[in-house]
Structure 1
Amino acid sequence: MNRFKGKKAVVTGGTHGMGLAIVERLLAEGAEVIFTGRNEKKTGEVQQALNAAAAYGVRSDASSMADIQALGQLVEERFGRVDYLFINHGTAEFQELAEVTEASWDQHFNVNTKGAFFTVKRLEPLINDDGAIIFTTVANDRIFPGLSAYSGSKEAVKAFAKVLAAELLPRKIRVNSVAPGFIMTPTMGVANLTEEDRETFIAQGNEITPLKRHGTVEEVAAAALYLAAEATFTTAIELPVDGGFAQGI
């Protein structure tokens, strides 16, 4: 398939898990891709592993306004214009009420919310009319204790994605979100899990997901790329990719 031949895309948080799966699928279908990662060493390793002239990795911290501005400059210089923007970066940490600090709260909102919003603000002028923005949110209709800051930060993303969808209607830029449930990733989406915690988390997810399994990063990537390229009469929606988890079935 060459669904994305001649297309240019930017993927934030593209060095592992769902973001990397999006990058790989875009490249496989003919796109040129700039992807970001917060860790320079990891970003370089992924760049080397992809071994694709059409892929360019850049270290960029979504919580840094300077890095966001630099990313915009790089995209402008290398691509000029882009067709698709995937806002996939994020951070999560289990902390119940007594454990949440101002620093951890700020980290969640600086990365997940402020970083998402201002990355779009910087790159939106470079997106072609009829292009698409796809956010990664989370299946938030059912909540776990200990994820207040994370859940709140992603709910904010869901809200302003809908506002941006309305604001960008004159340019026919579609703005949608993909909302993963339990997905098998290296970190399971949560920082600092021990191996025992990870196994417990996986078992719990399998049990409470109606399809009785975790999703794959490839399944999330497929949904994100569908929203980007095929759902051309769809904007302002959040598409669950969660095996029925948030649907109450």
Structure 2
Amino acid sequence: MRLKNKTALITGGTSGIGLATAKLFLAEGAKVIVAGQRDIKDSAAFDGYAKENLFFFQYDTAQVAAVERLAEFVKEKFQTLDIAFINAGVAKFAALEAVSEDLFDELIQVNFKGAFFTLQKLSPLFSEQASVILTSSSGIHKAHWGSSVYSASKAAIRSLAITLSAEWISRGIRVNVISPGSTDTVLLEKLGVTGQQLQEMKDSLINNIPTGRLIRPEEIANAVLYLAADGSESQTGTEIIVDGGAFLKV
């Protein structure tokens, strides 16, 4: 029960990495607000977990007014917040020549603007010694076709964590980054491919991962838990890359 008596918010918590992290946090004793676009209150996703410690908030992270309502909800439920996993994001890819203004705006608004204003609105609620974890991407360190805007939005997250680490260190707040590699989540399906095409995409990704498989969401969740729990007090402004060794592959 490494998070007993801790309060936590997870954005993008209704699927993939966020959902896996929410389950792990609950199992470790935290009270958790799961925030995201999907309504999963009546789903079986959390069957077997301590539902008295579980709260839901449905919203669009790209809308500042919705982010303000989220902060109000957090204050109403918890008063103060010990852990924030800012994980909401979207992945879309196109060659530079094919990037539309709408695609550009969506990626920046969801991935960076949403995270920025979420942290701004939550700032007054963070407890002393709070831990903030932001989701970036291992892709910011390597060139990938069609990722110019996506990688820029995720690189902005890495930069934000460094700045906030300096701004908030006097308050005892730690800010760190988790950078997943190719992870086996529904995010891959949201790219618009299914069936055989989806499998071919996964196989192509696996070819660039030395461990020979996609990363499991639960593996990312365990890295987030390390940054959230006691025992990682010296970690601030740092980045943990979980990508099966792809970062090192030439």
What's the TM-score bracket when you normalise by the shorter of the two chains? over 0.9
Residues 1:233 and 2:242 aligned together: no
Residues 1:185 and 2:182 aligned together: no
Compute the RMSD of aligned alpha carbons. 1.4
Give the aligned residue type for 2:24.
R
Alignment partners' CA distance in 2, 1:66 and 1:197: 38
Residue 222 of structure 1 deviates from its aligned partner by 0.2
Match of 2:146 in 1: 146
Match of 1:92 in 2: 91
Alignment partners' CA distance in 2, 1:219 and 1:245: 15
Q: Is the CA contact (8 Å cut-off) linking 1:182 and 1:215 kept in structure 2?
A: yes
Residue 206 of structure 1 deviates from its aligned partner by 1.4
Residues 1:66 and 2:68 aligned together: no
Match of 2:166 in 1: 166
Q: Is the CA contact (8 Å cut-off) linking 2:67 and 2:121 kept in structure 1?
A: yes
Alignment partners' CA distance in 2, 1:215 and 1:73: 35
Alignment partners' CA distance in 1, 2:190 and 2:169: 35
Q: Secondary structure at the match of 2:212?
A: coil
Alignment partners' CA distance in 2, 1:201 and 1:153: 23
Residue 63 of structure 1 deviates from its aligned partner by 0.2
- What percent of counterpart residues are identical? 36
TM-score, normalising length from structure 1? 0.94
Residues 1:6 and 2:5 aligned together: yes
Alignment partners' CA distance in 1, 2:248 and 2:223: 17
Residue 223 of structure 1 deviates from its aligned partner by 0.3
Residue 9 of structure 1 deviates from its aligned partner by 0.1
Distance 1:177-1:53 versus aligned 2 partners, 3 A rule: same
* Among 40, 45, 50, the residue aligned to 2:46: 50
Match of 2:222 in 1: 222
Match of 1:197 in 2: 197
Q: Secondary structure at the match of 1:108?
A: helix
Residue 195 of structure 1 deviates from its aligned partner by 2.8
Q: Is the CA contact (8 Å cut-off) linking 2:61 and 2:110 kept in structure 1?
A: yes
Give the aligned residue type for 1:148.
S
- Which runs of 4 or more aligned residues in structure 1 lie more than 4 Å from their structure 2 counterparts after TM superposition? none
Residues 1:248 and 2:249 aligned together: yes
Residue 248 of structure 1 deviates from its aligned partner by 3.3
Residue 196 of structure 1 deviates from its aligned partner by 3.2
Residues 1:21 and 2:14 aligned together: no
Q: Is the CA contact (8 Å cut-off) linking 1:93 and 1:192 kept in structure 2?
A: no
Q: Secondary structure at the match of 1:168?
A: helix
Residue 37 of structure 1 deviates from its aligned partner by 1.2
Q: Is the CA contact (8 Å cut-off) linking 1:187 and 1:193 kept in structure 2?
A: no
Q: Is the CA contact (8 Å cut-off) linking 2:178 and 2:241 kept in structure 1?
A: yes
Match of 2:132 in 1: 133
Residue 115 of structure 1 deviates from its aligned partner by 0.3
Match of 1:75 in 2: 74
Residue 45 of structure 1 deviates from its aligned partner by 3.8
Give the aligned residue type for 1:151.
S
Q: Is the CA contact (8 Å cut-off) linking 1:139 and 1:240 kept in structure 2?
A: yes
Match of 2:29 in 1: 30
